[in-house]
Amino acid sequence: MDWRTKLLNPTPRARLDFKSLATPVYRGSTVVVDNQASVKDDWQQAEKGYSYGLYGTPTTLELASRIADLEGARHTFIVPGGQAAIALVYLAYCKAGSHALVPFSAYGPNQEMAEGLLRGMDIEVEAYDPLIGTGISKMIRDNTTLIWCESPGSVTMEVQDVPAIVEAAHTRGVSVALDNTYAAGVLFDAFTHGVDVSVQALTKYVGGHSDLLLGSVSVRDDNAYEVLGPIYRQLGLAVSPDDCSLALRGLQTLPVRLDQLEKSALEVAEWLAMNDYVDAVFHPALPSCPGHSYWKRDFTGSASVFSFTFKEHISAESAEAFLDALKIFKIGLSWGGVTSLAVVYPDLNRPNKDFGGRLVRLNIGLENAVDLIGDLKNAMGDL
């Protein structure tokens, strides 16, 4: 063979019996088969064997199966991010003429998709009060195909009565999808509480180090698997095995990170609750959080992200100055990593409340909680 040909037709000499504790990173688009009769193009690779890298590699499918195990799911789809996971669920469960319900505390881009892409496709997505509970029955129509829950909600942290919503939905044959990112798939058991589809931004706690973007869509049964699978394939939601490898690493330390983050976040939240400048702390484990009783009933712990509001006499400009005065907390969106973050939502309003630019969302990281409290205290000194 010419050396050029030989480069592409190597004689492998490296031993393959390397038993690493780490899942190898398999990169690949094409899957080579033994003969023409074996060529197939089936996305159900977990069951039917590998056909094409788009539907997953051994690295991707390993991550998928570990998330499925963690959540007690029938199957998990890994997608490029949490928002892609949300899009996949909408597009699988809604078609032209469908009606869907989403809490007004849902992740912003979820609501944007409802108002944008979906509206253009003649899919009506109606917002509901996250604390509606069984009252959701009245909003279900004959053409309702999907109800979203997100508990606690983004930024305003309302904890939902998910079992009540599930019961009302299932009575009318409607599927329930939960954005379970806050719970990291563990602090709230979605499937035991009746949810059909559980979504996570793996970007947050599973990744855990602010260095990757991935999402997961986990299904409770064959029914949901059949609804989502073909749409997952049609959308071509490929993910990088390198990112999946980082997520697999993140999973190994998830328990210790969650434990420490919970402790520190509670310490900071409890300090804020006693602070003279602070009006309310929206931390699910504190009674001041809307829906706290559902958290107590349904969750096994709390996580690192929560919000607080300044009292009325603190202006939006002062809230901004407070943020700029922080030294240890970094200013930034997202959460679930090891670094403490703070951000003000100047325009955030809910149908039932105007926050007047006085709401601050915090993500607590792995810094010493005493230092974090000191940082908040110093920054408040300038108010």
Among 55, 107, 322, 345, binds ligand PLP (CB under 6 A): 107
Per-residue x/- track, 109-128, ligand PLP (CB under 6 A): --------------------
| Contact by Cβ (8 Å): 299, 284 | yes
Three-class secondary structure assignment of 201-249: ECCCCCCCCCCCCCEEEEECCHHHHHHHHHHHHHHCCCCCHHHHHHHHH
* Token representation of residue 332: 């930034």
Which amino acid, 119? R
Question: What residues between 214 and 243 interact with ligand PLP by CB under 6 A?
Answer: 215
Check the CA dihedral 370-373-375-380 and report its sign. negative
d(CA 180, CA 100): 18
- Closer by beta carbon to ligand PLP, 251 or else 379: 251
- Closer by beta carbon to ligand PLP, 51 or else 302: 302
DSSP state of 30: B
**Does 304 help bind ligand PLP (rule: CB under 6 A)?**
no
Per-residue x/- track, 124-163, ligand PLP (CB under 6 A): --------------------------x---x---------
- Closer by beta carbon to ligand PLP, 201 or else 281: 201
Among 181, 198, 309, 340, binds ligand PLP (CB under 6 A): 181
* Token representation of residue 130: 């996250």
- Closer by beta carbon to ligand PLP, 78 or else 94: 78
Give the rounded distance of the alpha carbon of 237 from its chain centre: 16
| Contact by Cβ (8 Å): 141, 169 | no
Among 179, 196, 243, 298, binds ligand PLP (CB under 6 A): 179
Place of tokens 């469960």: 93
Query: What are the CA-CA distances from residue 208 to residues 81, 186, 251, 341, 351 (Å)?
Result: 14, 14, 9, 13, 33
Per-residue x/- track, 240-279, ligand PLP (CB under 6 A): ----------------------------------------
Span of 75-83, 189-197, 245-253, 360-368 interacting with ligand PLP by CB under 6 A: 75-83
Span of 43-51, 79-87, 167-175, 231-239 interacting with ligand PLP by CB under 6 A: 79-87
Residue nearest ligand PLP, CB atom distance: 82
Place of tokens 């983050």: 261
**Does 291 help bind ligand PLP (rule: CB under 6 A)?**
no
Per-residue x/- track, 328-367, ligand PLP (CB under 6 A): ------x---------------------------------
Q: Burial of 352 by CB count in 10 Å (0-12 exposed, 13-18 middle, 19+ buried)?
A: exposed
Spell out the residues 6+ positions from residue 114 whose beta carbon is closer than 8 angstroms to its own: 90, 100, 102, 125, 127
Among 56, 81, 241, 250, binds ligand PLP (CB under 6 A): 81
Per-residue x/- track, 188-217, ligand PLP (CB under 6 A): -------------x-xx--------x-x--
Among 82, 130, 133, 357, binds ligand PLP (CB under 6 A): 82
Pairing of strands 75-79, 215-219: antiparallel
CB of 82 to ligand PLP, least distance (A): 2
CB atoms within 10 A of CB 216: 27
Residues in the site for ligand PLP, rule: CB under 6 A?
A: 81-83, 107, 150, 154, 179, 181, 201, 203-204, 213, 215, 334
